[in-house]
Amino acid sequence: MGHLHLALNHFPVVGLFFAVALLAYGMKKGSDDLQSASLWTFVIVAVLGAITYFTGEPAEEMVEHMPGVTEAMIEKHEFAGTIVLILMGLVGALSIGGLLYRKKNNALHAGLSKGILALALIAVLFTLRTANLGGQIRHTEIRPVGAGAPGAGESGYETPEEEESEGDGMPEPANK
């Protein structure tokens, strides 16, 4: 199941961007069909987001003992993922409400579409942060400056000063 988390984690991010763009374009053009398509996309993205979230624990078990991976990094990503799960769940639920409203009234409620768009834009910001935190777990090149190379010190990171002070990488002689 951990592999499923790694395979699916890009779909909610990209899907959310696509759905936001589609909804905004549909609203600008006044197209209920485009807006409905975006609402269906939000529902699908919410489901994929939930699957991604609930496969996170098995993914954690796969990487938690790898060099350079810390519990703190995983916990930050997990907490951010919980917020995204809630936001995407709300966007998905409101989208279902919008689709049901359209089915009953043969039109979308403009206020609901605007509310979904606003909430989805907030979800985009949190999703990007969550994705970045998740990426930092295994991609050292996107870790903040000062996070350094994995496998050093208690935290698993060296500061740039520590890296520079290591010289040629050979052990220091016993008698200086």
Residue 1 burial (CB count, 10 A): 13
Asked if residue 11 belongs to a domain, the reply is yes
Does residue 54 register a pLDDT over 70? Answer: yes
Asked if residue 156 belongs to a domain, the reply is no
Asked if residue 163 belongs to a domain, the reply is no
Does residue 140 register a pLDDT over 80? Answer: no
Asked if residue 19 belongs to a domain, the reply is yes
Containing domain of residue 33, as a range? 2-144
Phi, psi for 36 (deg, rounded to 5): -65, -40
Using pLDDT thresholds of 50, 70 and 90, give the confidence band for residue 34. very high
Average pLDDT over all residues of the chain: 81
Among candidate residues 108, 110, 117, 94, the one with its CA nearest the CA of residue 21? 117
Average pLDDT of span 115-139 = 89
Asked if residue 112 belongs to a domain, the reply is yes
Q: How far apart are CA 22 and CA 25, in angstroms?
A: 5
**How large is the C-alpha radius of gyration of the chain?**
22
pTM for the whole structure: 0.74
Asked if residue 37 belongs to a domain, the reply is yes
Asked if residue 155 belongs to a domain, the reply is no
Does residue 43 register a pLDDT over 90? Answer: yes
Does residue 66 register a pLDDT over 80? Answer: no
Q: How many domains does the chain have?
A: 1
Using pLDDT thresholds of 50, 70 and 90, give the confidence band for residue 96. very high
Asked if residue 171 belongs to a domain, the reply is no
